[in-house]
Amino acid sequence: MTGLVGRGVERVDGRAKVTGAARYAADNEVSGVLHGALVSSTVARGEITELDPSAALASPGVVAVYTHQNLPRLTVPPDFPYPKSFVPLQDARIHHNGQPVAYVVAETLEQAQEAATLVRVRYRAERPTAHLVDALDEAFLPDEFRGRPNEHVRGDAAATLDQAEVRIEREYTSPTQHHNPIEPHTTTAVWNGNSLVLHESAQGVVLARKIVADAFAAFDPRPDVRVVSRYLGGGFGAKGPTWPHTLLTAAVARQARRPVRLVLTRAQMFTMTGHRAEYRRSLRLGATRTGRLTAVVDTSTAQLSRTEHSIFNSSDSTLHLYACPNVHVRQLGVRLDLPTSSYMRSPETTAHFGLETAMDELSYEVGIDPVELRVRNLNPRLPYRGKHLLECYRLAGRAFGWARRDPRPGSMCEGEEHVGWGMATELHTYNANASTAELVVGMDGRATLRTASQDIGTGTYTVVTQVVADGLGLPLDHVTTLLGDTAFPAASISAGSSTIPSVIGPVSQAARGARDAVVAIAVADPRSPLHGVPAGDVVTEHGYLFARGDRDRRDTYRAVLSRHGRPVELTGSTRNTPGHTFGAVFVEVRVRRRLGSVRVSRVVAAYDPGRVLNHRTARGQVIGGVAWGIGFALMEHTVVDPNTARVVNPNLSTYLVPVCADVPPVEAIFVDRPDPSSNALDARGFGETPGTGVPAAIGNAIFHATGRRLRDVPFTQDRLL
């Protein structure tokens, strides 16, 4: 151990990224590649009655136009990671606006795009339903999804609520949102005989391989599939599942007998992949006059599609965060004529926004400081061992200056601005998946780590390199980390903050094992200055092996292995347990009194992610998460036309996300104490924790500033007039 773990090491792939040397999925040069362009439906519900590709086929450079009339039948992959219950271009049915209806393949991208505009499609259209408010009476309790029930009962919430001394009954809503990573979804399919290589923008190459193989299950022989995703220009959950365009590209390339590349347009990213579902939440809290929660009735309604019943707006915070003996959670759904929803950073945010706003409303109802109210209700059995959430409240509150807050709404004014302070708890449930890593220490004394997990922009290359270098006692630049390829040992998807908790265990296991193996070789080798030293007395640092008591007795990795004559190879394989990571966020807002515009002017947040493996990348997650929270609170909103169920703002010019000027300096504090219950060097999953509480904290601060309680995001200025 050389103290590399925890240090804010700069990104090992930073130079490659800023110089353009890093090849993202669509950057790979593939000789003979054809370019694809998708034609998408302009109705939300109905049937294709006529599809005429003749003008497109006659257009220069066009090789083929594939539709439901000529594409071979694929198998619908059965498991969730393929989120849809159908594959498009297999029949004439239209399930949502923007569904692919034709796939044009041409010699150049421009030719494909132009030809796509020439495919004539006629529909028999039925009237769609686009918004929850138009079909609330059709809400139902869906069957369990991915093994999780949609109803949870503890005690008798309804009866207790009726008896409660204090009741808060409110409704909170949030709109459809889209992930919008900068890098669009892209697939390049290269067939060689029965082998298929997919260069894919994927957060999970192993799952993608399985889904693609499942889609070709009826083909004989079944293809060998390899999925490669070395770098990702952002995912946020969008690229966690595998979407139809990937399957279609593989099928089309097989038909065309040429490699085919497809890059979704920004507009297609709003209909051909997933989104965060429109959501309403009715929350009824019962409490004592002293602020103790006695009952929570939590009934949410999320958008479902006609074809699936996937619910991702987890109510975990209602179930786990606060101690309450009587809880009734129901997660209802309404089927609308929209694309399938999916998970989006951070899935809890929608539900958590309601709970953390309701807690603020309760704090005013009972006259108890919002932090104190949360402390009083803290679940003594928070589902992890180290309980440092109290420390988060204390650290962030002190740094923010919370003790100086006058709780009366409108109590702080500066010139034309109302100033408000609000806070919320942050909470995220992270996953952990069985993972394997393979480490080779070569005869040149350099190490190469391979694992089929991914770096989705969060810093996995860097942290894994740190852990390997630290475990072996090598300099960072003697370690190469290779990720994102199903040719490597199977490992976790990078979603649900699962990468670190899943892969650090096997990586450190392999590193320590390899170190011990090299030490054993050295002390057994008569040619080594360390010959005969007990293995336990050998220290490894900076590529050297030292005798602990006599540092002049030393050897090097390179010398030991070159004498040994072959590399040392070790495989690590572990499974960690999922869990929860908590934090606290405090924000200051400024509201222009007459105009209603809101500006977030200060954010302080503290977190307990267990041991922090890299302070720089962890802080990056806080800044990014806070920016997401600001976007959720103040602007993000996919506009769906109420009559056509078509997205009206499918681009970054009208789907607003925060710009730098919207995001104030963010002070990030880490408790940074090891969590021994995690086998990932005492680190828990963290990435998606920051931001979960930010929308509520902003709304709570707006209430403090103005006395106006906002319960529907985004809080655009018209809501404060």
**β-strand pairing of 666-670 with 598-608:** parallel
Beta-carbon count within 10 A of 19 CB: 8
- Residue 21, interface with other proteins (CB under 8 A)? no
Residues 575-594 as x/- pattern, contact with other proteins by CB under 8 A = -------------------x
Q: What are phi and psi of 565, to 5 degrees?
A: 85, 0
- Residue 114, interface with other proteins (CB under 8 A)? yes
Tell me whether residue 163 or residue 654 sits nearer to other proteins (CB atom).
654
CA gap 344, 342 in Å, rounded? 7
- Residue 174, interface with other proteins (CB under 8 A)? no
- Residue 595, interface with other proteins (CB under 8 A)? yes
- Residue 90, interface with other proteins (CB under 8 A)? no
Tell me whether residue 270 or residue 607 sits nearer to other proteins (CB atom).
270
DSSP-assigned beta bridge partners for residue 199:
188, 228
In this structure, is the dihedral angle defined by the CA atoms of residues 257, 258, 261 and 262, taken in order, positive or negative? negative
Q: How far is the CB of 316 from other proteins (least distance, A)?
A: 30
Region near other proteins per CB under 8 A, out of 109-117, 174-182, 342-350, 562-570: 109-117
Is residue 586 within 8 Å of 402, Cβ to Cβ?
yes
DSSP 303: E
- Residue 558, interface with other proteins (CB under 8 A)? no
- Residue 182, interface with other proteins (CB under 8 A)? no
Tell me whether residue 40 or residue 614 sits nearer to other proteins (CB atom).
40
Q: How far is the CB of 203 from other proteins (least distance, A)?
A: 27
CA gap 429, 404 in Å, rounded? 32
- Residue 601, interface with other proteins (CB under 8 A)? no
CA gap 700, 682 in Å, rounded? 34
Is residue 329 within 8 Å of 318, Cβ to Cβ?
yes
Q: How far is the CB of 643 from other proteins (least distance, A)?
A: 6
- Residue 134, interface with other proteins (CB under 8 A)? no
Q: How far is the CB of 649 from other proteins (least distance, A)?
A: 5
Closest CA to 576 of 679, 663, 668, 669: 679
- Residue 718, interface with other proteins (CB under 8 A)? yes
Across 593-721, where does the E strand assignment appear?
Answer: 598-608, 666-670
Across 175-269, where does the E strand assignment appear?
Answer: 186-192, 195-200, 224-228, 260-263
Region near other proteins per CB under 8 A, out of 44-52, 159-167, 173-181, 712-720: 712-720
CB within 8 Å of 394: residues ≥ 6 apart: none
Is residue 689 within 8 Å of 348, Cβ to Cβ?
no
Q: How far is the CB of 164 from other proteins (least distance, A)?
A: 37
Q: How far is the CB of 265 from other proteins (least distance, A)?
A: 9
Tell me whether residue 118 or residue 396 sits nearer to other proteins (CB atom).
118
Is residue 435 within 8 Å of 490, Cβ to Cβ?
yes
Q: How far is the CB of 282 from other proteins (least distance, A)?
A: 24
- Residue 171, interface with other proteins (CB under 8 A)? no
Region near other proteins per CB under 8 A, out of 108-116, 292-300, 504-512, 705-713: 108-116
Q: Which residue has the tokens 């018209």?
A: 718
Q: How far is the CB of 29 from other proteins (least distance, A)?
A: 23
Q: How far is the CB of 656 from other proteins (least distance, A)?
A: 5
Q: Is 588 a catalytic residue?
A: no
- Residue 57, interface with other proteins (CB under 8 A)? no
Closest CA to 104 of 152, 43, 59: 59
Is residue 49 within 8 Å of 123, Cβ to Cβ?
yes
- Residue 717, interface with other proteins (CB under 8 A)? yes
CA gap 247, 244 in Å, rounded? 5
- Residue 597, interface with other proteins (CB under 8 A)? yes
Is residue 377 within 8 Å of 323, Cβ to Cβ?
yes
Which of 348, 426, 636, 688 is an active site residue? 688
- Residue 648, interface with other proteins (CB under 8 A)? yes
In the chain, the amino acid numbered 481 is: T
Strand order through the sheet with 279-287: 151-154, 326-336, 293-305, 279-287, 166-174
DSSP 411: -
- Residue 721, interface with other proteins (CB under 8 A)? yes
Direct distance between the N- and C-terminal alpha carbons of the chain, in angstroms, rounded to an integer: 59
Q: How far is the CB of 67 from other proteins (least distance, A)?
A: 18
CA gap 47, 128 in Å, rounded? 13
Q: Which of residues 535-554 bind other proteins (CB under 8 A)?
A: none
- Residue 55, interface with other proteins (CB under 8 A)? no
Residues 462-501 as x/- pattern, contact with other proteins by CB under 8 A = ----------------------------------------
- Residue 40, interface with other proteins (CB under 8 A)? yes
Is residue 503 within 8 Å of 466, Cβ to Cβ?
no
CA gap 428, 410 in Å, rounded? 32
- Residue 417, interface with other proteins (CB under 8 A)? no
- Residue 315, interface with other proteins (CB under 8 A)? no
- Residue 661, interface with other proteins (CB under 8 A)? yes
In the chain, the amino acid numbered 328 is: H
- Residue 623, interface with other proteins (CB under 8 A)? no
CA gap 31, 46 in Å, rounded? 40
Structure token pair of residue 313: 């707006």
- Residue 646, interface with other proteins (CB under 8 A)? yes
Q: Which of 75, 411, 649, 677: binder of other proteins (CB under 8 A)?
A: 649
What's the count of helices (H) and strands (E) in the chain, helices before strands? Answer: 15, 27
Residue ranges binding other proteins (CB under 8 A): 40, 42, 97-98, 110, 113-114, 117, 267, 594-597, 599, 634-635, 639, 641-644, 646, 648-651, 653-654, 656, 658-659, 661-662, 714, 716-718, 721
Residues labelled as active-site residues: 688
